[in-house]
Amino acid sequence: MPELPEVETTRRGVEPHVKDQRVKRLLVREGRLRWPIPPDLPGLFQGQRIERVERRAKYLLFHTAAGALLVHLGMSGSLRLVPPSQQPARHDHFDIELAGGNVLRYNDPRRFGCCLWVAYGESHALLENLGPEPLSDSFDGALLYRRSRGRKGPIKSFLMDQKIVVGVGNIYANEALFLSGIRPNRAAGRISKARYQRLADQVKLVLTSAINHGGTTLRDFVGGDGKPGYFAQQLYVYGRGGEPCKHCSEKLQESRISQRTTVYCVACQR
């Protein structure tokens, strides 16, 4: 699943090509995504000038004077710039045709993404109750410590709760917990403020590094330029269950926490 760095990589890749461009047409081939594309959406978006592209959590917002197109990549989605003459592939579900000639094409084999509309001055249920951005100043160890008090669930599930902090998905939760020396099944409410500050710092470092490397290469993800990300070669634990720890050579353990694959080192994490 594309996580925050992959979505941010996509945002940075497409914004220079769509900013200040007027929308010629929103062409919908398949509207049956996770939530159906509203039938009036092409008319609402057509003719609007895209002022900027913003990321909130794992959502992309194409802002115009009338409102914003809200796009989520789901589990396998991608946005790519293609020439108008390029024929659509099987899972190319909609195109944003720009007056300047470019086409921003959405591909999603599993159709778990979305394309919705947020009118100017209004909010959307998908964006409400979200926690702070992990790369913002409002996210730190003090916030994690305060919100974790009394929680008996595992720290990994707590860190992946979008109401606590947005965008820390499975890959980067594994990595940040390893680099913080915190075992993923440890109760969130039993971690000290000092350790939470280290965890918050590592979350920021891991996500920033992944963004700078273009995201993590997975089976489905490619960036806005059609090229895969290259952060996978930097991973310490994710996808390496049974292999030696890069720090101590102990065999990495693999388990399931909240139905998600979890890899950790029994020697380096406690």
Catalytic residue among 55, 58, 80, 105: 58
- Whether 2 is catalytic: yes
Catalytic residue among 19, 186, 227, 260: 260
Which residue positions form the known binding site for DNA? Answer: 91, 110, 151
Q: Which has the closest alpha carbon to 244: 262, 265, 259, 228?
A: 265
- Whether 193 is catalytic: no
End-to-end CA distance of the chain: 28
- Whether 3 is catalytic: yes
Catalytic residue among 3, 6, 8, 175: 3
Tokens 């925050």 sit at which residue?
4
Which residue positions form the known binding site? Answer: 91, 110, 151
- Whether 184 is catalytic: no
Instruction: Annotate the chain with three-state secondary structure.
Output: CCCHHHHHHHHHHHHHHHCCCEEEEEEECCCCCCCCCCCCHHHHHCCCECCEEEEECCEEEEECCCEEEEEECCCCCEEEEECCCCCCCCCEEEEEEECCCCEEEEECCCCCCEEEEEECCCCCHHHCCCCCCCCCCCCCHHHHHHHHCCCCCEHHHHHCCCCCCCCCCHHHHHHHHHHHCCCCCCEHHHCCHHHHHHHHHHHHHHHHHHHHCCCCCCCCCCCCCCCCCCHHHHCCCCCCCCCECCCCCCECEEEEECCEEEEECCCCCC
Q: Which residues are catalytic, by number?
A: 2-3, 58, 260
